[in-house]
């Protein structure tokens, strides 16, 4: 009964910024359970940003210092602020959670970084 919907993707120039949103419908224990992943065709879906059990943001090395994960409890939404974008950030971005013993994914939002 939990649904995730990503939004905010689009085209950005190298060095530009985008802000992604993951809207959560239904009840989960905490927005700390939401993580951001990305996938390029032919490659594995990789974790980009998540929260520790205490709510501390965790990032993969390639985005540290550039991306920021945050949560808005009032709007039941998790954001991913992406700055200093480069071509290697081009991918479909998904949010994810584990609920009632099932992995739940959104539909994904395309991010393209190109001049």
- Per-residue pLDDT of 25-43, as tens digits, reads 999 999 999 999 999 999 9
Give me the chain's average pLDDT, please: 97
Q: What angle do CA 50, 52, 53 make, to 5 degrees?
A: 130
Exposure on the CB side of residue 81, measured as CA atoms within 13 A? 9
What's residue 1's pLDDT? 87
Average pLDDT (39-56) is 95
Q: For 58-110, how does the pLDDT look when each residue is reduced to its tens digit (9 = 90+)?
A: 999 999 999 999 999 999 999 999 999 999 999 999 999 999 999 999 999 99
Contacts of 105 (CB under 8 A, 6+ apart): 4, 94, 95, 96
């Amino acid at each position: 009964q939990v649904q995730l919907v990503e939004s905010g993707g689009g085209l950005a120039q190298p060095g530009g910024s985008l802000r992604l949103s993951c809207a959560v419908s239904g009840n989960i224990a905490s927005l700390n359970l939401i993580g951001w992943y990305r996938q390029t065709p032919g490659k594995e879906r990789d974790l980009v940003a998540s929260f520790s059990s205490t709510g501390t943001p965790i990032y993969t090395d390639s985005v540290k210092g550039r991306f920021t994960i945050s949560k808005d409890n009032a709007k039941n939404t998790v954001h991913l602020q992406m700055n200093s974008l480069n071509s290697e950030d081009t991918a479909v971005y998904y949010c994810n959670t584990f609920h009632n013993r099932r992995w739940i994914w959104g539909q994904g939002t395309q991010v393209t970084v190109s001049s």
